[in-house]
Structure formats: structure tokens, C-alpha cells
Amino acid sequence: MTTAPVPRLLVVHDDDLGMRFGGDHPTDRRRHQLAVALCRESGLLNLAAVSTAQAPGPMPDEGLERVFAPAFVRAMHRYSRTPVLAAEPEARQWGIGGDNNAYPGMHEDSARVCAACALAAAAVADGRARSALVPAGGAHHGLANRAWGFGIYNETAVAIQTLLDAGLERVAYIDLDVHHGNGTQWIYYDDPRVLTVSVHESGHHLFPGSGFPVETGGAAAPGSSVNVALPPFAGDDAYRRAMSRVVVPVVRAFGPQAIVAQCGVDHHHADPLSHILTTMPLYPELWRALRELADDTCDGRLVALGGGGYEPCTAPPRAWAALAAEMAGVAVADPVPESWREIALAAGCPEPARGWLEDPGPAPDHDRDHAAAAAAEEAIHLTVTALARFFPVLV
């Protein structure tokens, strides 16, 4: 009797995953729908090294309560069943209102993405897959008792907790989204089993206003929190330097048994919610660094989640499909499939790209870019200084 080979990559997805806040809310589900469509039209999902799974039903309350306060979970049920109650002042203490407006089925939508992330993490933990990708996952602002930042439940924390509950003793969390991964950091701030590393636009300029180098872990877990707070307009090279000079060395020194990565691309220059000005050619470099880091430190055990990206037709679909390709161990080549361009056109994308890395880039500004490069270098230096006593390898 022969045993089927373990897939190199498990993709967990269905097109109904994601929040439905409605109106002109930035969380447009086309971003991950089109990413998976590009994987499919490119033939990635047909590879022997790749398997797929439908997202399961909502995570049961007992699973959610491994991360979140039971009273918070009860409150989310309440506002999901009866959204009009979100008008009461008490709803604000739970983070309901504004960016996270209540609607029927809100709890179920968020709990279903959590279940998808847990399925992916469990498959990696027990060896059913070497790595896993959930393009619709990645909400990272929510606290244990509060919704925050375009999400109800913190999906990245669910993935981490699933790995811990499976018996892993060291999990590294790498957050490349332009917004600080504050919720995940604070949930695990006093847990020495979890290293949280976030590269983002400085909280001096961008939501959620945190993620400074001095945030290095709680009293029970000193050195477990790493933050690189980049200046506006920092661009591709700043992310490259942050990865090579901070992220890779500290994760190697930590020696994780698995990595969870939040792979938001809302730092792209076309994104309406940030100012970092990265471009498409950067993303394959980031994904390669993540994959190589996982290969070198934890036998490839990588759970990758989507995250931010609020111009749904531009960066997210190609970036996350390229992430899938990197995790599957294959290369993609231009042009993108014409069949995918037709799908994107039908989805309302006016001019779908013809190349995987096609990107005009931001308008050049020598003075702006020179000043941003110097400020980015200083930001990385501040992080290295804050962490040197915990990670001598940085010095």
C-alpha cells in the first residue's frame, strides 16, 4: 500500500468567505476571489503539489473562546442576530460601529474565516500539508475582547492558537501589512511561545497608532515583540532592508516550529489607505524570503494569510497568486492568462494587468524619496537598538 505524498501547499478558500459590511466599505471580497481565480486559471490548483479545501462552517464558540473572551463572543452573536442593537452605547465597548458595522450574519461570516484559518494551521501542524494559504484570512487588529479595524474576530490569532493547541512550543508571527498587527501583538504580548514581528507604516501617521520599536514584549515575555515602523513613502527598498536586517535574523534566532504570516499588500502605491508606495516587483521577493525562512527554520511549516489590500483589482490578486506559486515551488511567467483577465473584467476591473509584475509605479519625486530613505534607515536603526539586548545577532 502506497501513501499519498504530503501536498506542498494547501489552499483553503471559497468565494463566499469574508465580511459583508456593505456600502463603500473597503473590505471588497473581489481581492481574494480574483487571487484564487488567477491561481486556478494559471493551473496552480491542478498541480500535484497543491491541494485545496473548502472553507468549513463557522468555528464553534468553544474554539473561538480559546482566543476571545466568552462575553465578547456572546456580544457578537447578539449584534449579529439583532443588528439594530448596535445603536446602543454598549456596542462601542465591543468595537461595533464605524468600521465594523453590525449586520445579520456578521458573527457567522467572521467565525467562518476563523475556521478556515484554523483548518489551514491544523493541517500544517499535523503534517497533512507542508504549508497552507488562506487568501481571505488575515484580520489582525481585533483584541481578545474587542472588534477592531475591518474585522470582528482576529483570524491571525486563531491560526497561532491552533498551532499552540496542537502542541507547538514556538510560533513566529510575521506581519507585512502596512498597518501594525496590534491585536495579534497584544493578545500574545506576555506569551514567550509566540514571537510577533510587524513591518508597517509608523503609527505616527497611520491607523492603529501603535507598533513602535519600544513595544518589545510584556514582563513575562521580554523580546517577544518586534516592530519596524517605517515612514511614509518608504517604498520597496525599505521593506527589503527590514526583512534582511530585522525580520529574518530575529526569526532565525527565535527558532520557530512554525510561522504564521500576514501577507497584506496595502502598502502598494495604488492603495487608498496608506502612503508607503511599494510596487508589484517587491512581492515575489517578500514571498521568497518567507518561504526560505520557513524552509530553513521549521521544515517549511508556513501558514500564510491574505490581509490588507484595498484596491481589489490591482495588487492583491496577482500578489497572492504569486504567493501561492512560491509556496507551491513553481514559477509563473507572463502573460497572465487571458481567461483570468476576462474574469477580472466581468468582476468590474476596468484594465486588468497583462503581466504578473506589471506596474507603472508611483510618480517619482527625488526629494521625497531621498528623505524617506533616510527616515527608513533611522526607523530600522531604532528597532535594532531596541532589540539588541534580546537579539545580539542584530548588532
Active site residues: 141
**In the 8-state DSSP scheme, what is residue 243?**
I
Task: Give φ, ψ of 295 to 5 degrees.
Answer: -60, -40
Cell 483548518, residue? 119
- Per the CB < 8 A criterion, the answer to whether 189 and 225 are in contact is yes
Please state, in angstroms and rounded to a whole number, the distance separating the CA atoms of residues 179 and 224.
Answer: 19
Q: Do residues 252 and 328 lie in contact, with contact meaning Cβ atoms separated by under 8 Å? A: no
Asked if the peptide bond before residue 192 counts as cis, ω within 30 degrees of 0, the response is no
Radius of gyration of the chain (CA): 20
Neighbours of 364 (CB within 10 A): 7
Is residue 216 helix, strand or coil? Answer: coil
* Numbers of helices and strands, H then E, in the chain: 13, 8
Read off the C-alpha cell for 235: 517604498
